[in-house]
Structures are given as C-alpha cells and as structure tokens.
Amino acid sequence: MHTTTRTTSALAALVFSLSPALSYAIDSAPATLAPQNSMPAARSAPLQPFPAVKAEEYKEADVWGRIRTGYAIPDLDNDLVAKNITWYSTRPDYLARTSARASRYLYYVVQELEKRNMPTELALLPIIESAFNPQANSSANAAGMWQFVPGTGRDFNLKQNMFKDERRGVMASTDAALTYLQRLYGMFGDWQLALAAYNWGEGNVQRVIKRNQALGKPTDFESLSELMPAETRNYVPKLQAVKNIISNPAHYGVSLPVIDNQPYFTAVDKTSDIDLTIAAQLAELSVDEFKALNPQFKRPVITGDEQTKILLPHENAAKFQLNLAQWGHALSTWTTHKITSARESIASLASRFHTTPEVIREANNIPARSRLKAGSTILVPKTSASVGNDIAENVIDNAVVAFEADRDPAKRKPMTNAQKFKARAAAAIANIKSRVSHKHNNG
C-alpha cells in the first residue's frame, strides 16, 4: 500500500481543516506575495519559517479536498461555464452515480497526477469523458474511462486483442491519458489548449492557431473556441464547471460523498490463466465488482504472462492469496480452438466440446444468426487433454474472431406444401414431447 501524504505549513493545515472554501482560497492565492514597501531585503527582519509538519500529522480529509489543493489550470468564466454548472448541479442523481464509480479510481488518478506534478483538476476529466465508467463507448468507437479511440490507444501502447482492451484498464489507460496530456501541454504550453487537443486532436488545434496567427488575432482557448466544433467549445467549460462545483459544493447545492484519501485497490499477480468467475470467487467479490476494477478483460478467462495483473480492493487481496493457496481445482476451464473449415458450425463445436451453442456464443461474443469464418480462433471449454495448459502468448496476440451473417431466411426458397406439412408436424411432436417431459419432471 502506498498512501500519499503532503507536508505543508502548520497554518495551511489549520486553515484547510476549517472548510473546503477556505482551502480553495489558499490554493488560489499566489505562492509568494509582493512586499508592501520598497525596503531593501537586506534591512528586513529575517523571516522565520513555520515549523515543519510531519507527514503523518497532516493529510487531506478526503480525495476531493486533495484535488482542490492541486488546482493549477487558469479559470474560465463565461456563459458556457455557467450553463454547464447549472446542468451538473441540477442533476444530483447523475453526480451521485458518477461519484460512486469514481470512488474506486479517483485516489489512484490523483496520485499519478501528483507524481508527474500535473494539475489535479485533470482527475475530474473522466467525469466529462465517461462519467467515470470504464465500460463507456462512444459513437466514434472511443472506449474506457479516458475515451481512447483504437488508433490513439495503440499509439500509447494500450493493447487491444481478443482477450483484453487496455483502453478500459484503470492503470494502463490512466498512464496513457496522462502521458498524452503531458505531451499536448508540451506542444501548446497551455492546459486549456491541451485539453481542446485531447478532445479534437492536436492537428486541428494547430490549424486554428495558425489561422488566427495569420490574421493577427489571439490564440488563447477562448479566442479560438468559436473556430472549434460545439463539443470541443464546451469541453473546457464543462471541466471548469465541475471544478467550480468540487471547489464549493455547498454553494451550488451539491452534496459530495466522502471518498477516503487512501488507495482503494492493489495490484495482484496472477500465477496462470484463471477464469474471471474463479478469480472473483477467490477474492470473495461479486463478478460485477471484480469487473469494475478489471474492465479490460473481454473474455471469461484472464490470460497473459506475469505482467498481467488483476486489481482487487485491499481487504480482498489478502483473501484472494489465502484462498488461492488452498484452491485444489483447475484455475482455468477454457482453451482456444482455431476454425479451419467453414463446415465447423457452432452446433458441431458445442457437441465436440461437450457444451451448448449458447455457451460458445456468449464466451466469444458471437451474435445470433451468424456463423464463424475459417481462420477464427475461439474459446472452448477445456478437455482432459488440455487441462493445465495456458493459452500461448502468440495465440493471445494474434487471435481473431470473424463471423458472418448466417443465410438470410428471407432469401430462402419458399417452402412447398409438403415441406410446410412436415414442419408443422415436427413442431407439434416437439411440443407434445416438451409437455410430457415437463409433466414427468414436475409430477
């Protein structure tokens, strides 16, 4: 466990403890004040520093307070900010749901921002991007808490394969997003323009900067925003609106849940392939809670080498290790099978691997009324021959599932009268058998 604390002056600690509003006033003040007279420094009495406060004696009350202490992006104050403040502040249920999701991730994001000496209000950006939902998808195929599109995700080493999509991974996507934001700030030297570029693309922002430069016009965000699409024009004001609400929630009639200023999760090594449901069981977590911390895993088995880790709440990590040591069964019940012929139907595969077509479709996200193409690699239940074998790394990296629509029933030839009669007769017999079986089973 790594708990981050901050050393500050005794006076600042006292003032912060009085109220969030006073804390924000301190945060917004200049780091140093200009002298009130022109007396040379040599003739001034030496300043006595406040006594140092030990780290364990001062710690922000919760993560919201910790975020406020690190605000560093210049404020906007315009009609769009006011409009977005009204939107968020009049939707307490939305903020409550978003805060509940954020409570799992926010400490980690703030900690990573502080390590890089970045403005901590950037921790609020996933509220704008995804409402802190790592399973969020956009119409542009952006995914995850930080909403990476596939290409940008690959640019920042976020793996995307059949088994996982690191655009959704809490730690991987946060690292990529902060690296990207740092690069954009280095490019523009302005956090507001960096944010606009994060939303719209750096090339587009560079283009409108050059346009205004050529016309002798200013190139700050507000001066350029009229040249941006509506989504980008609203992007920075939205962040400013959330920032204002977090600064002084009571002023806007908002009640924020307390999010403890301590790590929510820890990373745990996995020893071999493990079913997602078994991992959740060993950690004594519901599958939904396990998925909330490990949303990058797309299949019912977690594959990969020793670099693949799972995230668990601290109290559950110890339970996981203890239960794992006592587990006397196979950790993974899945392996892969490559389709070599179009003759391999899902029904025939189900029979071969002693399962049902529905299980194969669900494990591989195969839509109904579709069939697999030759060359596809799919998950199938392990047989006695494959028990104990992990899925190979080259399969993980290269496996693809390709399917096509099954033959369209609407394009089939019309049934003859004889075929219709046989179909009705078969359906009637099946119905009678079903009723007899039901009566027998419940008799």
Cα torsion 389, 392, 393, 397: sign: negative
Q: What CATH number does the domain containing 380 carry?
A: 3.10.350.10
The helix-helix angle for 170-188 and 191-200 (nearest 10°) equals 120
Q: What CATH number does the domain containing 234 carry?
A: 1.10.530.10
Please check whether residues 419 and 406 belong to one and the same domain: no
What local confidence, expressed as pLDDT, does residue 372 receive? 95
- Kindly list the catalytic residues: 129
CB 391 within 8 A of CB 335: yes
- Residue 28 covered by a domain: no
- Choose the final residue of a domain: 326, 348, 376: 326
Q: Which helix (H) or strand (E) holds 371?
A: strand 370-372
Q: Could you tell me whether strands 309-313 and 265-269 are parallel, antiparallel, or unpaired per DSSP bridges?
A: antiparallel
- Residue 359 covered by a domain: yes
Please check whether residues 222 and 308 belong to one and the same domain: no
Please check whether residues 200 and 77 belong to one and the same domain: yes
Looking at the chain, the whole-number percentage of residues with pLDDT higher than 70 is 79
- Choose the final residue of a domain: 220, 252, 284: 252
Q: pLDDT tens digits for 323-374?
A: 999 999 999 999 999 999 988 999 999 999 999 999 999 999 999 999 999 9
What local confidence, expressed as pLDDT, does residue 304 receive? 86
- Residue 102 covered by a domain: yes
Give the contacts of 93 (CB within 8 A, at least 6 positions apart).
none
- Domain ranges, residue 380: 334-411
Please check whether residues 317 and 231 belong to one and the same domain: no
Please check whether residues 167 and 237 belong to one and the same domain: yes
- Residue 54 covered by a domain: no
Give the contacts of 12 (CB within 8 A, at least 6 positions apart).
26
pTM of the model: 0.79
CB atoms within 10 A of CB 194: 24
- Which of these, 214, 178, 216, lies nearest to 198 by C-alpha position? 178
Please check whether residues 271 and 376 belong to one and the same domain: no
Q: How many domains does the structure of the chain reveal? A: 4
Please check whether residues 308 and 371 belong to one and the same domain: no
What local confidence, expressed as pLDDT, does residue 421 receive? 72
Please check whether residues 287 and 394 belong to one and the same domain: no
Please check whether residues 222 and 278 belong to one and the same domain: no
- Residue 207 covered by a domain: yes
- The token pair at 313 is 């709440």
What is the chain's alpha carbon radius of gyration, rounded to the nearest angstrom?
A: 29
What local confidence, expressed as pLDDT, does residue 420 receive? 63
Low-confidence residues of the chain, pLDDT below 70? 1-59, 407-415, 418-420, 422-423, 426-428, 430-443
- Residue 37 covered by a domain: no
Please check whether residues 69 and 181 belong to one and the same domain: yes
State how far the alpha carbon of 356 is from the alpha carbons of 161, 353, 372, 434, 438, in Å: 25, 9, 15, 19, 21
Helix ranges restricted to H, 229-268: 230-247
Please check whether residues 204 and 79 belong to one and the same domain: yes
What local confidence, expressed as pLDDT, does residue 414 receive? 62
- Residue 24 covered by a domain: no
Please check whether residues 137 and 192 belong to one and the same domain: yes
- Choose the final residue of a domain: 209, 227, 252: 252
- Residue 276 covered by a domain: yes
**How far is residue 70's CA from residue 26's CA, in Å, rounded to a whole number?**
11
